[in-house]
Amino acid sequence: MNLAHLLQRQARMAPEQPAIFLGTHKVATHGQWAKRCQHLAAQFQAAGLQPGDRVALFMRNHVRYLEVMFAAWWAGLAVVPINAKLHLREAQWIIDNAQARWAFVTADITSETGDSLQSLEQVIDVDSAQADALWHGAEGAADTPIHERASDDLAWLFYTSGTTGRPKGVMITHRNLMTMGLAYFSDVDGLAPRDTIAYAAPMSHGAGIYAIPHLMAGARHMVPPSGGFDPAELFALGQQIGPLSMFAAPTIVKRLVDHAEAAGLTTNTCGQSFKTVVYGGAPMYAADIQRALRVMGPRFVQIYGQGESPMVGTALSRQHLQDTAHPRYAERLASVGVAQTPVRIRVTDAQGQDLPLGEVGEVLIQGDSVMAGYWRNPEATAHAIQNGWLFTGDMGCLDADGFLTLKDRSKDLIISGGSNIYPREIEEVLLHAPGVAEVAVVGAPDPEWGEVVVAFVVPQAGHTLDTHALDALCLQEIARFKRPKRYEVVSSLPKNNYGKVLKTVLRQQLG
């Protein structure tokens, strides 16, 4: 099964149906999209690229991202998405490790240092005359057949963020991505041709592969003219072309809600701009999702997954988020939902033995969404996948109804005086304090206790925080030994391109 067959299917069924947009401007129908992919696939083959070869995409969000991605699959190649915020040297390391032969780039992210990517046969600026020549004649291209691929062949070689050491290449297969696409319908949201996905989050990550379920439904794909996230732009585009669906990190959700609240938008007006906002990639605190629901209405679905099981792990549906009468609603709101249909979830101890309900351990995932392994790294693969189960490194617990509540990454666990402390529990409390915008809790080395709790707190605009009041709130809500021993009031928290707080950086700041 080759994912390119999904595009071919839509092109045959509805060739004139609009497919790709730059803002409100139509760039391609499904028929045109398929023809361009056929033509580009022929160019790959004519240049000697062989099935299984890697093509890197070091690009900001761009309408040609989708065309290159599906053209590569059409030719039997694998795509290497590279975070557009990486330094050129970091991208070069990924290209070398992946042994990519071609790279497609946007000049704005490759020209900052004056250097250029090396060790490639072709580096193509997608806005250049060279790219136009590759795409030229697509409307009349000969019928280039889709190169058949096995379901377990490599499709998407995704590199982890690499916050500790070099990133690892996660080998995602056609089967993995097909599973993810189908799980969207069973566990996230229904789709129809009139729906539109907005690529405001990086297409090198989950937002980009969410093209697959939207293609399955014959829906529309829209890249905002800004190429990224601008809440005013997205609200306006939704009003113009119909309610948008999108994937967003919790920090992006917060900015959407901030805009809606500042603009005085009603939930009905928000519904005219947004159909579904799928959030994930980092913890969404209960106070934040409650505010989002209050301001924007029932437009949200939470998913939990990893690059190693892309977008598939658990889901907290809009029905769960709306079921305020449920006796365990508060607990469910703080959870990441239940196992998605194609996978099983377990929580185990350090020996891989199942733990009783409610006890905290490592989260394991099994199913057809789980990666084939790490690229050229059998040792890491053997550590991460054991007996068919992916050991996620995330800590959590299951309840009797199957809801998973995450605590923290295992590496973020704080052990103070021999007691385990989960930073998220403290963060949830501090976010309820007046004037607090963001919080991140980490452990700092301590000669007496091993580690002590330190809270980095970002105040809301115009607020001055009283750390004594924060301490009093913690003493009121959680055990004394869990409360922070230090409070660092900062203007912002360091985050990666996907909105995750970089706790490694915070720990480094503490020395």
Report pLDDT digits (tens) over 113-169: 557 899 999 999 999 999 998 887 555 566 899 999 999 999 999 998 654 468 899
| Helix, strand, or coil (residue 262) | helix
Mean pLDDT of 334-351: 95
**pLDDT exceeds cutoff 70 at 279:** yes
DSSP 8-state code for residue 410: G
Sign of CA dihedral 79, 80, 81, 87: negative
Give me the residue spans of the domains in the chain.
Answer: 10-17+28-149, 413-510
CA distance 427 to 98: 38
The amino acid sitting at 314 is T
Q: Annotate 1-40 with three-state secondary structure.
A: CCCHHHHHHHHHHCCCCEEEEECCEEEEEHHHHHHHHHHH
Residues 234/61, Cβ–Cβ less than 8 Å:
no
Percent of the chain with pLDDT over 70: 96
Q: Look at residues 80, 70, 58, 23 and name the one whose alpha carbon lies nearest to residue 221.
A: 23
Question: Can you give the pTM of this predicted structure?
Answer: 0.87
Sign of CA dihedral 325, 331, 334, 335: negative
CA distance 7 to 30: 7
Which class is domain 413-510? alpha beta
Quickly list H helices, 136-241: 174-183, 206-209, 211-216, 231-241
Question: How far does CA 496 lie from the centroid of its chain?
Answer: 12
DSSP codes, 155-175: EEEEEP--SSSS--EEEEEHH
Tokens of 221: 């794909």
Residue 284 banded pLDDT, cuts 50, 70, 90: confident
Averaged pLDDT score across all residues of the chain: 92
User: Is 413-510 the same fold as 10-17+28-149?
Assistant: no
Q: How many CB atoms lie within 10 A of CB 400?
A: 8
Architecture field, domain 10-17+28-149: 3-Layer(aba) Sandwich (3.40)
CA distance 93 to 169: 11
Task: Output 96 or 507, whichever has higher pLDDT.
Answer: 96
Alpha carbon distance, N-terminus to C-terminus of the chain = 50
